[in-house]
Amino acid sequence: MHKNLLLKYADLPELPKKTWFKMYEAKDLDQRKRELNDYLMALCKKEALTNDGDFHSFINLEENLNNKLSFNKEKLLYNFPDANLGVREFVLIEEQKIVIAVCRDENVQSRVKSYWDNIRLPFIHTEDSFSPVGSFVVFKIVSQDPWHVEKLFVKNFKSQTNCVAFCKDMNVLAVGLSNGKVRIFDIPKEFKFIKDVYYDSSSIKAHSGQINGLAIDASLGYVYSIGADSKLCVSDRTSGEVVWTVGFDKFELTTLTHDEEKKRLFIGDNSGTIHIFSIKRYPPKRLATIKTSIKTTLKSITFSDDYKKMFAGSIEGDILCFDLGDYGREKKDTKEYPYILKGKGKCQSLVWDENNKCILSGNKSGNIAIWLPEENRCLYVFNAHLHKVTSLHWDREQKRLITGSSDGKIKVWTLPHSFIETAKKKKFTIGKRL
């Protein structure tokens, strides 16, 4: 049990080391019982564990907690058709009921073989006949009660795909590749993403290394990208040229979030710093540089619906919380909370659940954690995928969580909301000794 819990939770109490095989007297056995009792009591004080599957199956908590808690567990509603390659990121276009996922080959040996085949035998390859190491996949949501999704088509690439952005006002799709290129596609609404009915309008060589984040803004029509080369680039999609670039002192830029309403970019790097830019006008204007309390790679940045609170997840599993200043006052007013949400495993993606005022985080182990940031509490953890969770989307209307993973799966979940509502209203107290 302890080994299973270590995969999901941080700051667990230490398991007593001595085993009964080394005990020769009754007092040793009594001491062992006390140590195990203290260990189990310490576990029960961790709120998220009171409804963990591994813990719950090991010990009957209902007989040992004064506050009995009934709750509905998470439920898997639907598995999307297989994406074939590992899902790196996806976007949901709600008006058109379309999901676009960028996928890539995560197997090193397979990827090397594909690269070699594409170089060795280029004369037999056409535009669509080569060994793909990246792709974007377009899914159509046919119904949501019950869920049913159809795979419309797949566009393959000879390079890994890392990120995606879609501008609904322009109906333009951008895909970031590991070779530093941004591929731009115009997809007219009237064509409804029918296979092969799109225009591959341009390919922009924006970076010298892997592209880690993309955004498209309709007001100026530019494409914004960040990369492993420590640069933020602004590209003109019509000319296919980079028109503006700024560097960041050799720190790799690792995550980008676009505030479409207030025209801001939030960029995280591998030194734990968040850079905020205004893109209302050209060129972008730096609003603030926030040096966080950690000095490690930031993997995801998200916000409450009113953009008053900001959350950043790190590769070490920590989640930082901020009160975000008003537009134009980010430098002076942004305040980091005095505590860090200590997650287990590398945080890969974050999303905000406005209904319950919770943060949902996905990590490298395939787990989803539910947090109450205002109270520095982890409420619940469940396993969603076999491999790392790379992308999350919270459907506010349907109250559904959509998860994507490097295992090639996209899944739809209901969350244990009755449990969350109960847990938010009261703290747990431990009853009799176990």
What pLDDT sits at residue 427?
44
Query: Two tokens at 234?
Result: 């602004």
Contact 240, 190 (CB under 8 A): no
The token pair at 192 is 């409804």
Q: How many CB atoms lie within 10 A of CB 383?
A: 16
Domain residues of the chain, as ranges? Answer: 2-63
Distances (CA, A) of 397 to 271, 353, 411, 420: 36, 11, 17, 18
On whether the CB atoms of residues 73 and 416 are closer than 8 A, the answer is yes
Q: Identify the bridge partners of residue 403 per DSSP, sorted by sequence position.
A: 392, 411
- The dihedrals phi and psi of 66, each to the nearest 5 degrees, come to -65, -40
Q: What is the C-alpha to C-alpha distance for residues 276 and 303, in angstroms, rounded to an integer?
A: 13
Q: What is the pLDDT of residue 434?
A: 22
pLDDT given at position 70: 44
Output the pLDDT for position 119.
Answer: 56
The sign one gets for the Cα dihedral 36, 37, 41, 42 is negative
Looking up tokens 């333009």, which residue turns up? 172
Contact between residue 88 and residue 106 where contact means Cβ atoms under 8 Å apart: no
CATH architecture of 2-63: 2-Layer Sandwich (3.30)
CB-CB contact of 388 with 378 (8 Å): no
Q: How far is CA 21 from the centre of its chain?
A: 45
Q: Consecutive sets of 10 residues in the chain, 434 residues long: mean pLDDT of each?
A: 70 68 63 75 68 62 44 84 93 92 77 53 53 90 93 90 94 94 86 65 92 95 96 94 92 96 96 96 95 94 93 93 88 89 85 90 92 84 93 90 96 78 47 25
How many residues are present in the chain?
Answer: 434
In the chain, the amino acid numbered 323 is: D
| Closest among 354, 358, 348 to 392, alpha carbons compared | 348
- Location of structure tokens 């309390």: 293
Q: Select from 136, 410, 363, 100 the least CA-distant residue to 402.
A: 410
Q: Mapped to the 3 state alphabet, what secondary structure does the chain carry?
A: CHHHHHCCCCCCCCCCCCCHHHCCCHHHHHHHHHHHHHHHHHHHCCHHHHHCHHHHHHCCHHHCECCCCCCCCCEEEEECCCCCCEEEEEEEEHHHCEEEEEEECCCHHHHHHHHHHHHHCHHHCECCECCCCEEEEEEEEEEECCEEEEEEEEEEECCCEEEEEEECCCCEEEEEECCCEEEEEECCHHHCCCCCCCEEEEEEECCCCCEEEEEECCCCCEEEEEECCCEEEEEECCCCEEEEEEECCCCCEEEEEEECCCCEEEEEECCCEEEEEECCCCCCEEEEEEECCCCCCEEEEEECCCCCEEEEEECCCEEEEEECCCCCCHHHHCEECCCCEECCCCEEEEEEECCCCEEEEEECCCEEEEEEHHHCEEEEEEECCCCCEEEEEEECCCCEEEEEECCCCEEEEECCHHHHHHHHHCCCCECCCC
